[in-house]
Amino acid sequence: MFTEKGGKPERQAPHYMVVEACEWLASWHLDSGFVKIPVGEFDLNTVSFTYGDMHPTFSPNVNDDKEYRKKLYTYAEILKVIEKYGLPQAWNADDRFGPERYIEVQIWSDQTVGRYR
């Protein structure tokens, strides 16, 4: 799906990140932290997004007919989805409204991520 949208992966598997901080993810560890990387540092041809975690987004067991299910987005596309729905960590912090808790980012390059390791 990524290459069909013009994506140019440089890796076999992506690095996984999320858009903005997510308290739910931070709660998994006693001493968690996060790295904030400005989107302008990425080659957007090497970045894709799912509205929610990729696994429930594409799961055959999640059939709630939400328009963002089973879809992969480019940066320009995910901005429109965020404008329409907001950030899942803001409206679904307690998991009452479905499996989406954050926007997942798939980084298909080592270039930018490597500078922050």
- Residue 46 · residue 107 · CB < 8 Å: yes
Q: Where are the beta strands (DSSP E) in the chain?
A: 15-18, 47-51, 103-107
Task: Check residue 39 and give its pLDDT.
Answer: 93
Rounded mean pLDDT for each run of 10 residues along the chain, 117 residues in total? 95 93 78 86 96 91 90 97 94 88 95 89
Q: How far is CA 42 from CA 23, 38, 90, in A?
A: 24, 8, 25
